[in-house]
Structure 1
Amino acid sequence: MKLRVLWVGKTQEEWVRRGIDEYSGRVRRYLALEISEVREEKGTVAEQMRLKEGERLLKTLSKGARLILLDEAGEQFTSTGFAAFLGRERDHGTQELVFAVGGAYGFDDAVRKAAYRTMSLSKMTFTHQMVRPFLLEQIYRGLTILNNESYHH
């Protein structure tokens, strides 16, 4: 299974980039991982921004990719539950699993309709920048759980 993490906009903060680098390297020990950025729309109303960003995001998806949106109203997992989800996707032959982090105003309806599911990392609100390393760390944690390694206590 190939894993892809897709987000809207460039990563601004150095500490966020360091976290992304650290955990993407760890994830790559287990699965092929691609990280893609979609250009952020600027200078218009929120609805137009979501529409344009959504169009760009959807164009990047390969046929058969399973799109999972990170959204505050999405399904929440425990770490072991998330590991089990990753394991089921892997074991059922999912070719590409794509996690998408939206821009400042979230996702357009067309992107929501294309999604396989939505998930939330927490009931708390995080910036769309902070979610990037958090997501990669949880993916890494899930993979170590699947491999019965000691990272998760």
Structure 2
Amino acid sequence: MKLKVLWVGKTQEAWVRAGIEEYAGRIRRYMPLELLEARDEKGAAAPAMRERECERLSKLIPKGGKLVLLDERGDSLSSPDLASFLERSREQGIGDLVFAIGGAYGFTDSFRSQAYKTVSLSKMTLTHQMARVFLLEQLYRGFTIMNGEPYHH
């Protein structure tokens, strides 16, 4: 299995980029990981922005890839639940497990309908930049749980 994490827009803050690099490096000890950015849309009404950004995200999903959306309306998972999901996905022979973080206005209904699973990182509102680091940290934590390592107490 390969992991891909997609998001809309460039990572602006140096400290966020450092967090992304830190956890991406840790994840790559367990599994191939690719991080991909879709260009954000500017200067349009929210529905048009959402549509164009989702079109760009769609082009980054490999054929047969299983899409996991990060969305406030998604399932709340504990870290062990996420580890179990990763383990099941690997056991099922999923080639590409693709996590997507949308832009400021989220995802279109059409893009949502393609999701294999929808997950919420928190009931609190997070910036899209910070959600990138939090997702990667939780993926890393999931792999340590799967491997019985002491990172998760």
TM-score relative to the length of structure 1: 0.99
1:54 correspondence with 2:57: no
Segments of structure 2 that go 5 or more residues without pairing to the other structure are none
Counterpart-to-counterpart distance in 2, 1:151 and 1:60:
31
Counterpart-to-counterpart distance in 2, 1:40 and 1:149:
38
Q: Superposed, which structure 2 residues align to 1:51-130 within 5 Å?
A: 51-130=51-130
Correspondence for 1:145: 145
Correspondence for 1:43: 43
Q: CA deviation at 1:58?
A: 0.7
Counterpart-to-counterpart distance in 2, 1:61 and 1:99:
9
Counterpart-to-counterpart distance in 1, 2:60 and 2:109:
17
Q: CA deviation at 1:74?
A: 0.2
Aligned-residue Cα RMSD (Å) equals 0.6
Segments of structure 1 that go 5 or more residues without pairing to the other structure are none
Residue type at the aligned position of 1:7? W
1:21 correspondence with 2:31: no
TM-score relative to the length of structure 2: 0.99
Counterpart-to-counterpart distance in 2, 1:142 and 1:48:
35
Report how many aligned residue pairs link the two structures.
Answer: 153
- The runs of at least 4 aligned residues of structure 1 exceeding 6 Å deviation read none
Q: CA deviation at 1:54?
A: 0.7
